[in-house]
Each structure stands twice: as structure tokens, then as C-alpha cells.
Structure 1
Amino acid sequence: MSDTAETGVMVRSPDLPPWYRLVQLEVCGSTNDEAKALAQAGAPEGTLVRARRQEAGRGRRGRGWSSPEGNLYTSLVLRPGVPPVVAAQVSFVAALAVGQTVSDLVPGLARLKWPNDVLVDGAKIAGILLESEPAADGRVDWLVVGVGINVLHHPDAPGYPSCSLLSRGAVSPDPADVLARYAGHFQSWYNRWRAQGFAPVRAAWLNAAHGLGGPLTVRLAGESFAGRFVDLDDDGGLIVETTEGRRRVTAGDVFFG
């Protein structure tokens, strides 16, 4: 993908499907914040913000996201016109797209960790962050899908193994090529989700799920509990078998093994 001459201006990119409008930035605080501002100003679905570097990148629950130049940082504006519980399913759409992108480029099999991480050999290679704003009718007015993929670099945090495409065997990975692959996979899965609902997305996600059938610990705001990951429900909730029966988890931190 060639860079735009008008950095920060919404343009078509010849290496992305025509549905996308690319906003290319050299540096920003957070691509999600940039995309949210554009969405609030009326940007159409398919507006895609990419930055070479973020100065205030973040993941779930406001956690920092290391953002040196050489990785992929992008946020996509969507307007699916669905209730928030349905819009949350787009996290699984994005995970499938990222997983396929990673599998295109490295020999290791990408696995999908609930709710929004992509792993290779048990190490985190990508994360996903959804943010939205409600409309007056109770549906989402807009949805922003933030994706960060470790292309050339990965953080070294004790207790939280991570990796990059380069460290897992990708040959001279280019963030622009990674973006083009991700954009194609995402549009394909997003169109399928819009046409067929969550069922095919759920089936594909479970087929690539990390830890399915194995033990885990779930940490919620006020408690932690252990069990076994047995399923994903029709809304994307995690189903955990515990000694007291099955529990459905819609938010929380999950630790496998």
C-alpha cells in the first residue's frame, strides 16, 4: 500500500478494497480516538485510520499498548445499526480476520483467545478493542474496531508472553502488506456476519479457539473462579463449567492453564 500524499486526509487506497477510506497518520495519540472523532463527525462506514506510531495506544480496560513504529495500528469505523449486544459480536469478526492474516504470514497456527486476543504458540501477537456510541433508538450509532498487530516488535512483559510476526518466522513482514491482508479478511467476514448472523462466525471462532475444553480462571470485578472452557454462546459469552454448574461470562480477564 503506497502512502497517501495528503497524510491525515481520507482517501481511497489502491491496495485496499474500494469499501475502505484510508486516513494515514504518521503519529497520533490513539487510532481509536482519531476514528471516534471522525465517527462523531459523520465519517462513513469503512473509514480506516492507520498510524505508524501511537503515543497513547491502549487495550482493554485502559491498559497501555506498546506502539513503536514498525507494527500495525489501525481503527475502523462501522455503522452496523444493531443493538450493542449484537455489535459486540464484531470483536469475533475482527479476531477471525486477524487470525487469518497472521496465519497467512507465519508457520505457527494462530489461535483466538476470548474475548479479543490472537496468539501464536501461546504468545500474544495481536489485540482488539471495540468502542461504540449509542443512537437514540437504542442501537449503536457507530462502532470503532481497533486492531494492533505486532509486526516487527513485541513488548517484553514478565508473565505476559508476546511475540511478533517477525519473531515467529514471517519473512520481511511489512505493516502495509499486513493491513491489506487484514482489510480483505475483515470485509469478507463482516459481510458474512451481516448476511448470515453470528452462527458462522461463532463456529469458525470456536474452531480456532485457544484453550477450548481446558482449565481456566476467570477474574471479574468482585470475584475470581476456576472452571473449564466448554463453549461460546449465541451472543459471544464464554461458557465455563464449574463445580457448581455452568456460568456465562460476558466481561472479565481469562487465564488458561
Structure 2
Amino acid sequence: MSAPLTFPPLMYGEEAQGGAALEHACLRATMGCDAGLIAYRPDPATLEAALVFAPEVPLAQAMAMLPACGVGFQNALGALAPPEVAVHLDWDGGIRINGASCGRFRAIASELDPAKVPDWLVIGWTLPLYPMSEDMGATPDQTALYAEGCADVEPPALLEAWARHTLNWITRWEQDGPAPLHAEWRGLAHGIGEETTQNGQSGTFLGIDEAFGMLLRDDATTHLIPLTTLLEDSP
């Protein structure tokens, strides 16, 4: 990515040097960088990006940025990929292309208490561009972008489109609340109505609550698994 990337207002980019984009973004966040930083790492085989937020609401609400970034990615790739390519999202941050796993989103924050306002929140994603092995039949549930008919999707264009679409959903969330994002995400969600296991609990994935927590129904009751359980420790 030798040419400068173009991001929308309030967003700016930095190439991660010698490390993962998520780690770079977290480091910059701890140093007090402005919100809107997009760290990216243009590895030839994998595309990585991470966006820094400075939430003004408790972490439980701020975690809506995970599905917002996911929906932004789906909208971006959906606009650039051939129309027959299907892009869906797992509740836990997984990305699916044509039904197979293809990268994922991750979340790290300065604060783990859902009731507190964190100093920063970073949402990052990794997308494999090429298969790890030529024998894709050995791992039919795993895929890569260019193995799914997306050879014409250029990483810089995808990064720029993701930033634009994500900013649109952040703005809508701020102005209209979670309902529009909730409706959009539910239409893209993978596995609703199916049996799944999350955080050691198994049951039927019924959908999500207003705060995007997973509703998981077993034989006895319906469990609520908050999005904050997906947070990882800071690197």
C-alpha cells in the first residue's frame, strides 16, 4: 500500500510497523492518541486493520462498536465483491464468506467493567487473502478472500470502504440509537435458530438483546451472554 489511503473526516490512518494492527492501535490508544485512528498492516497474505474509539458511554453500551464495525465490513465487501458472494457475521466476531470462516473481529478496551466508561476501545479485524494451504478440501469450514471469487477486491479499496461504511453506522448509532444497527446486524447474522456453544454454554441461538448480547436457549431457560465477554486482555 504505497499510495496514501483516503479516510473520511474524523478518521486517519497509520501503518503498523513490525507488528499486528490491533497491537499498534492499542499501544497508540494507551499513549493518548485521538479517536478515529485506523491502524493497518498490509501483509501480502493477510489484511489487518483496527479502529480506536474514545467512548463516552459505559463499556456495555460502547461494545456496540463491535457489530457496527462488522456491519461496516459487510457493507464494504458487499459493495466491492461480485454479487454472488455472500458475507455474514458471527456473534463472536467471526467473518463468514460463502458460509465458511474467513477472519474475525476482536475487541480490547482499557476497562473491563461493563458499567464504567473506558478511556479507549479498539476494534480490530484480520482477513486472510490467500488460503493457508492449496488443499482447501482439508478445511472446508475455512476460506480466504481470494478463494471466494474476490480476486478483484483491492485491499486499499476495502480498507477505505470499511472506514466509510463503519463511520456511517457509528453516526446512525449515535443519532438513532441501537435499533437500526440491530436490524441490519440481525439480517447479516450467521447461525440464528441453530444450535451453538458460546462461553461454555450450549443451546439454540435465538438472537440478540438491545445491547447485542447473545440470547441462548437451553432446555431449562434462556441465557444472556453480554458482548463484553468477548473482550480480550490488552497486549
> CA–CA distance in 1 between the matches of 2:95 and 2:10?
25
Superposition RMSD in Å: 2.4
Q: Which runs of 5+ in 2 are unaligned?
A: 231-235
Could you say what secondary structure the match of 1:201 adopts? helix
Q: 1:218 to 1:131 in 2, by over 3 A?
A: closer
Q: 1:229 to 1:47 in 2, by over 3 A?
A: same
Could you say what secondary structure the match of 2:179 adopts? helix
Tell me if 1:18 matches 2:14. Answer: no
Runs of 4+ that moved beyond 4 A: 156-160
Higher-strand-fraction structure? 1
Could you say what secondary structure the match of 1:179 adopts? helix
Which 10-residue stretch deviates more, 139-148 or 97-106? Answer: 97-106
Q: Match for residue 143 of structure 1?
A: 121
Q: Is the 8 A contact 1:123 1:162 kept in 2?
A: yes
2:206 to 215, 218, 230: 230
Deviation at 1:77, TM superposition (A): 1.1
> CA–CA distance in 2 between the matches of 1:95 and 1:79?
18
> CA–CA distance in 2 between the matches of 1:39 and 1:219?
28
Kindly indicate whether structure 1 or structure 2 has the higher relative contact order, using CA contacts under 8 Å at least 6 residues apart: 2
Aligned counterparts, 1:110-121, within 5 A: 110-121=87-98
Could you say what secondary structure the match of 1:74 adopts? strand
Higher-helix-fraction structure? 2
Q: What is the number of equivalent residue pairs in this alignment? A: 222
Q: Match for residue 174 of structure 2?
A: 194
Aligned counterparts, 1:158-237, within 5 A: 161-220=141-200, 224-225=201-202, 227-237=203-213
Q: Match for residue 57 of structure 2?
A: 82
Q: Which amino acid aligns with 1:185?
A: H
> CA–CA distance in 2 between the matches of 1:28 and 1:183?
23
Deviation at 1:233, TM superposition (A): 0.7
Deviation at 1:160, TM superposition (A): 7.4
Q: 1:160 to 1:235 in 2, by over 3 A?
A: farther
> CA–CA distance in 2 between the matches of 1:199 and 1:50?
30
Percent identical pairs in the alignment equals: 22
- Please give the TM-score of this superposition, normalised by the length of structure 1: 0.78
Q: 1:154 to 1:140 in 2, by over 3 A?
A: farther
> CA–CA distance in 2 between the matches of 1:154 and 1:217?
26
> CA–CA distance in 2 between the matches of 1:149 and 1:218?
22
Q: 1:155 to 1:114 in 2, by over 3 A?
A: farther
Q: Which amino acid aligns with 2:41?
A: A
2:24 to 28, 31, 34: 34
1:71 to 42, 46, 50: 46
Could you say what secondary structure the match of 1:181 adopts? helix
Deviation at 1:19, TM superposition (A): 2.1
> CA–CA distance in 2 between the matches of 1:133 and 1:160?
37
Deviation at 1:159, TM superposition (A): 5.8
